[in-house]
Amino acid sequence: MSQEIAVIGSPDFTTGFRLAGVRKCENVPDHEKDERLDDAVERVLEDDDVGIIIMYNDDLDHLSRSARNAVETSIEPTLVTLGGGAGSGGLRDQIKRAIGIDLMDEED
């Protein structure tokens, strides 16, 4: 069972997670995102120790179609996006995808 958290993003984004104890961080400077972000995502997806990937929501726009599809459809590790355009619906969808049920079913 994968138990590590990995953070992918700019050094400014990953620093807080490092201070909180996250050991697996892939720093991709803003000016290099179009060239290096796909590689960072692929490395993390291939790491069997990683169970959760945290990324800044707007960074998804810098991924190639194949890398974005791979990270968004991955069950384990599960992608969690923060900031930017990530709203409550996005987090709700991420939780639903990760556990397979909607905990906040509106029909109740």
Q: What local confidence, expressed as pLDDT, does residue 68 receive? A: 93
Q: Could you tell me if 77 and 45 are in contact, meaning their C-beta atoms sit under 8 angstroms apart?
A: yes
CB atoms within 10 A of CB 43: 14
Mean pLDDT of 62-68: 95
**CATH classification of 4-99 is 3.40.50.10580, yes or no?**
yes
Q: What is the pTM of this model?
A: 0.77
Q: Which residue has the tokens 């201070």?
A: 19
pLDDT in tens, 19-37: 999 999 999 999 999 999 9
Count Cα atoms within 13 angstroms, Cβ side, for 49.
8
CA dihedral 35, 40, 45, 50 (to 10 degrees): -160
Domain ranges (residues) in the chain: 4-99
